[in-house]
Homo-oligomer: A and B are copies of this chain.
């Protein structure tokens, strides 16, 4: 056992960086008594002070909390190649440059830890990496963006518009001034790329993950869906499929009894599925400064006590095209109020092999609508049917569709 302190070099001293520095000093005694070494800061790099080379040379591990790609990428690669364990919360970096980061960790025979990059304080990375290291993970899915989950919860609860709920989220600090990457699904896609890489031991980068956001969701959709007992969530899904995999992010209706349906507000939740474990769900608040700092500190304690290395080169994986992935769908049609409308719509769906699970006719005259839920069908087939329906003369507006997770909760 090494007697000296464990020296941590900190890159970045913003909200998370300073919260981490404070937490490290607050918990140093407890960590020393549990892990046998005392962690301490060996240096802090900010825009205005500190020199990376000196910090690297005088540290046992590097914590990267600068964020963004440059210069975080260069520092991370140099630390790993020099054999220093790296702890980071940087989802952009991991999802866009994962291949070279993990290659650098293998070169340096050291480890890369990134619990704080995904799902805040919910320890899904560690659980996959360690607890289920012996399991073959089939599917990872969940709610990995707290901003959009807050907005959708608020829209459903109060009937607020998307814009109104977003403004409220910004007031409460759940959404940033520029929420683009949260609401368009890109943030969730980056996190799903990171989780999919870990689950499937494969190269998955942001560009492999198609994503849709929640900007087009209307209170209307939420209202009608309620009648079917459906709750809307922005879902990230990574699953093995046909010898390959599919990783994607989209707004999706869940039945009320689904374990993720009850996850409200700015919370995150991730479900892991494998034959050996059946399924395990982890949930908790999304990232905030203190939560992120706590997740980073957990990783620091791990690299202190375990000299692990990244060993497995990432495999190449075939990504199943979106059009071949099966889903159930909700379909909302504003139609003319005339006899035979439902029959004509049903005919087009049937021709395309799309089978209707339930349908409700709403409104009269200029307000007539068909609100339908379909059985599972390949997405390409469904899109083809919707295209054909959109060309029928009976349509008063473009069709609106949202995916649906069909399984009910079997508790």
Contacts from A to B (Cβ < 8 Å): 23-24, 27, 30-31, 33-36, 115, 121-123, 126-127, 130-136, 153, 201, 259, 262-265, 267, 274-285, 290-291, 293-295, 297-298, 300-302, 305-309, 311-312, 409-411
Contacts of A30 in B (CB 8 A): 134, 136
Contact A131 B298 (CB under 8 A): yes
Contacts of A262 in B (CB 8 A): 259, 262, 411
In the complex the two chains form, what is the Cα distance from A264 to B411 in whole Å? 5
Which of B31, B277, B294 is in CB contact (< 8 Å) with A284?
A: B277
Contact A126 B121 (CB under 8 A): no
Contact B131 A311 (CB under 8 A): no
Q: Name which residue of chain B comes closest to A295, CB basis.
A: B131
Contact B276 A294 (CB under 8 A): yes
Given contacts A259-B283, A305-B306, contact A300 B134 (CB under 8 A): yes
Copies of this chain, complex-wide, total: 2
Contact B276 A134 (CB under 8 A): no
Contacts of A36 in B (CB 8 A): 309, 311
Contact A284 B279 (CB under 8 A): yes
Contact B121 A297 (CB under 8 A): no
Q: Name which residue of chain B comes closest to A263, CB basis.
A: B411
Which of B122, B130, B276, B294 is in CB contact (< 8 Å) with A126?
A: B130
Can you list 16 pairs linking A and B with CB atoms under 8 Å apart?
A34-B133, A122-B280, A126-B130, A126-B131, A127-B127, A130-B130, A130-B301, A131-B298, A133-B297, A135-B294, A135-B297, A259-B262, A267-B411, A276-B294, A278-B291, A280-B283
Which of B33, B134, B307 is in CB contact (< 8 Å) with A31?
A: B134
Given contacts A132-B294, A262-B411, A265-B410, 13 further A-B contacts (CB under 8 A): A31-B133, A34-B311, A130-B298, A153-B411, A259-B262, A259-B283, A264-B411, A276-B290, A277-B294, A278-B291, A282-B282, A306-B306, A306-B307
